[in-house]
Amino acid sequence: MTLQARLVSTLGIPAGFLAALLAVAPAAGQPLNDPFASGRTGRDWQVTLGAGGALRPSYEGSDTYAVMPLPYLNVIWRDMIALDPFGLSAYWRLDGLQIGGGLTYNFGRNQSGGLFQPGNWRLNGLGDIPAALGVRGFVNYKLGPVLLGATLTKFVTEGNSGLLIDSSLGVPWRIDDRFMVMGRLFATWADSTYMQTYFGINATQSINSGYAPYSAGAGIKNFGFEVRANYALASNWMLSTSARLSQLGGSAVASPISVSDTAVTLITTVGYRF
């Protein structure tokens, strides 16, 4: 039984739904919204369920784009445990500091692509990258109006076992009780295992694909800027939209499969908070 199948069996969540929840999330689960924002209900449970769509590159480095449906689920228990598009985590907060850790999931890459998995014909001959379970730790600190964040994620599956370190600097701006905007600068560092898995070409892959062998080393995988806006449509309804501009860095830029170094990701969801 595959890792994905084991998780689906254990959690009781349909595979496609679970894949879509995580497919466009940042690899290491770096929060996109202000985790210190007001509006917490004080209830033990907060559940938001929704749906939307995403426009994203067919894989990192691709110049073609794919549109995918996007279910959304966010469950918070006592402001200590959360299940969201970034995974399952437990956290602790004190004033402007938030520290936590948990599990996340990477659905790998399918050389032929799919509804919820990245990939396209340019990857033919490279083989599929298996889905991977990841363990992560994160810290967020609010310094005045600025939100600083860092996340470390280690994937623990054979064939997809790299290490990622995300860092970000964001500024949330609450325009009124219904409308909040956040701008965020981000950068992701990846170890050589991750970079070789996603951007390298080994001897076997070279023969099967026709690409020249390529060794990808550790370094900045990507960096960029993101803007997200949340708007309360009604007392329990929320509209969320984001635009993300990302630039490949390091040895990812020179990879034979990197056709475009710049990528745009657009996401829009509508959710209902119970």
What is the per-residue pLDDT across 116-149, written as a single tens digit (0 to 9) for each? 566 688 999 999 999 999 999 999 999 999 999 9
Question: What CATH number matches the domain at 3-31+44-273, 2.30.29, 2.40.160, 2.60.40, 1.10.3470?
Answer: 2.40.160
Q: How remote is the C-alpha of 216 from its chain's centroid?
A: 22
Q: Is 236:224 a contact under the CB 8 Å cutoff?
A: no
3-state SS track over 70-118: EEEEEEEECCCEEEECCEEEEEEEECCEEEEEEEEEECCECCCCCCCCC
Residues in the chain: 274
Tens digit of each residue's pLDDT (9 = 90 or more) over 181-210 = 999 999 999 999 999 999 999 999 999 999
* β-bridge mates for residue 229, sequence order: 181, 241
Domain ranges for the chain, please list them.
Answer: 3-31+44-273
Give the H/E segment covering residue 268. strand 262-273
Identify the three-state secondary structure at position 187. strand
The pLDDT score that the predictor gives to residue 48 is 92
The pLDDT score that the predictor gives to residue 17 is 47
Whole-model pTM: value is 0.86
The pLDDT score that the predictor gives to residue 120 is 84
Q: Is 68:58 a contact under the CB 8 Å cutoff?
A: no
Token pair of 149 as six digits = 């964040």
* Consecutive 10-residue averages of pLDDT for the chain (274 residues): 43 46 46 50 85 93 91 91 92 93 92 67 93 95 94 95 96 92 96 98 97 98 96 92 97 97 96 92
Give the H/E segment covering residue 7. helix 3-11
What separation in angstroms does the CA of 34 have from each of 58, 141, 148, 183, 273?
29, 10, 10, 10, 17
